[in-house]
Structure 1
């Protein structure tokens, strides 16, 4: 039989730092289990029950902590992405460059497969006029696309969802999920919308927060107004 007793050095180390045992959950579980076996089946040791309850609570706290850290990291990453996107919007020196930048650098930064500026015009009737990153559409198209057949849908809110049949033709290519950012260009101009699409079904979902995209939409609107006024 092998000798499992502690050496003098090991015993002295544990005496100096008992927390080495307390911090080892497997070791503490084994100690409590051995104690409960020694007292017999008819004796209930509340310390063992308390330890099990504390372990379960610790597991929940650790899980919550990991969730908070993960959410904070995602928020920070998302904020950095939007900052880069806004800086990209400021770089073009002509409106044509602004539109071209949407389909190149800006789409890459935002990690989307389609990025389209949808603008209503009173002179356009029938099907939308597809033209790269800029699409001219008849009056009422933006509100219908955002509502997607739902009554009472606020057309001024950012929408994140699975791709809708109503807005499918505006992307120019099939997508699985989409983000619709309404753009208020003032009382003298018709409604507009920034439309993003992704091949990933979970890229845009209703459960996601819209704060960062709302901020990006406001920045995009202000820069677009500058070009429209020139």
Structure 2
């Protein structure tokens, strides 16, 4: 048997000295199993080979799942850090005008959105719009009921704190010149406390996949809660 061996002596000695290296190589083991099945002929069913093949397929699926879980964990960690940075930046201003300027500037950049709009409802929307124009395009003053209408879009659906959706032809009353480029948005419904009308923070993105209904909303829900509390000091 030794004299008829076709294996290189050095390779043969290496395998005999450490045979486990073959067990760790799935491609080599698969080739050995295939060669064994051919040697047995077609009249024999190798149940061990079938079981091994199924285990290999199961292992491949487990490895794919493992990689997906790790990727999701990294994405979640990156998203958490992003929200924390945005919250810290949002809490720095001591004047409302600076707060709004940062919201549409550095906070929007940290969150990687292309447009940021804060919607406040008031009974006198015309006077409010004049005020909004003085502080920039971030603030949008609307009539009562605007937030609910914008979130539901005329449908009988429950109001959620965070609404993620893709869009075509975004509302130009909010986005202005950027409306044609917005392809997805996150709408955060804001509760400013008893006796106050609701508000809304809208984040628009040119990327149609940045916000979609299939994504989780926990981090944005946390951001909305912090934003509500930050806004209350300006509304007192």
Whole-Å separation in 1 of the counterparts to 2:6 and 2:206: 60
1:142 is aligned to: 147
Kindly report structure 1 stretches of 4+ aligned residues shifted beyond 6 Å: none
2:57 is aligned to: 56
**What pairs up with 1:25-44 in 2 under 5 angstroms?**
25-44=26-45
TM-score normalised by structure 1 residue count: 0.91
1:204 is aligned to: 211
Residue 164 of structure 1 and its aligned partner are, at CA, apart by 6.5
Residue 34 of structure 1 and its aligned partner are, at CA, apart by 1.1
Whole-Å separation in 2 of the counterparts to 1:42 and 1:94: 85
Residue 49 of structure 1 and its aligned partner are, at CA, apart by 1.0
Whole-Å separation in 2 of the counterparts to 1:205 and 1:46: 47
Is 2:15 aligned against 1:14? Answer: yes
Is 2:122 aligned against 1:121? Answer: yes
**What pairs up with 1:1-230 in 2 under 5 angstroms?**
4-7=6-9, 9-124=10-125, 131=133, 132-154=137-159, 156-163=160-167, 167-172=171-176, 173-174=178-179, 175-229=182-236
Greater mean alpha carbon deviation, residues 140-149 or residues 13-22: 13-22
Once the two structures are superposed, residues 147-179 of structure 1 have per-residue CA deviations (whole angstroms, 9 ceiling, x without a partner) of 11221332x421000126684521222111111
Residue 14 of structure 1 and its aligned partner are, at CA, apart by 2.5
Structure 1: runs of 5+ lacking an equivalent: none
TM-score normalised by structure 2 residue count: 0.89
Greater mean alpha carbon deviation, residues 71-80 or residues 90-99: 90-99
Whole-Å separation in 2 of the counterparts to 1:73 and 1:30: 36
Once the two structures are superposed, residues 17-44 of structure 1 have per-residue CA deviations (whole angstroms, 9 ceiling, x without a partner) of 3221011111111111111111111111
Structure 2: runs of 5+ lacking an equivalent: none
Whole-Å separation in 1 of the counterparts to 2:32 and 2:41: 15
3-state SS of the aligned residue for 2:141? strand
Once the two structures are superposed, residues 92-126 of structure 1 have per-residue CA deviations (whole angstroms, 9 ceiling, x without a partner) of 1211100100111001000001101100001126x
Whole-Å separation in 2 of the counterparts to 1:165 and 1:31: 60
